[in-house]
């Protein structure tokens, strides 16, 4: 029984992890089937990859299916904005 519960918990966590990463960065051509649902902004990123990860997390929190980065600026303390799509 204990092995069954451990396997069930592992499978649930794996599924949740996959669902959390299902949001994607879109190009303007990819947005034709989606509707814009607002913008998100973040600051405090160390580099462009970190900035994109932070924007994706914010978009995911808003229930977006995808996002398009609008702006990115800064050196060691980057900030940026993205349009989210649902």
User: Where in the sequence is the domain holding 43, given as residue range(s)?
Assistant: 24-85
Does residue 62 lie within any of the structural domains? yes
Count up the domains in the chain and report the number. 1
Does residue 34 lie within any of the structural domains? yes
Report long-range pairs for 1-6 (Cβ below 8 Å, ≥24 apart).
none
pLDDT tens by residue, the chain, 86 residues: 555 444 444 554 444 433 444 576 776 666 667 888 999 999 999 999 999 999 999 999 999 988 999 999 988 899 999 999 98
Does residue 8 lie within any of the structural domains? no
Buried b (16+ CB within 10 A) or exposed e, 20-49: eeebeebeeeebeeeeebeebebeebeeee
Does residue 5 lie within any of the structural domains? no
Does residue 78 lie within any of the structural domains? yes
CATH of the domain at 64: 3.30.1660.10
Does residue 45 lie within any of the structural domains? yes
- Confidence (pTM): 0.67
């Amino acid at each position: 029984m204990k092995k069954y519960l451990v396997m069930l918990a592992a499978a649930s966590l794996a599924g949740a992890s996959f669902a959390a990463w299902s949001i994607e960065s879109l190009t303007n051509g990819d947005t034709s089937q989606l509707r814009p649902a607002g913008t998100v902004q973040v600051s405090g990123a160390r580099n462009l990859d970190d900035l994109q990860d932070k924007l994706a997390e914010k978009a995911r929190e808003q229930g977006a299916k995808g996002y398009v980065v609008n702006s990115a600026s800064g050196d060691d303390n980057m900030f940026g904005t993205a349009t989210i799509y649902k």
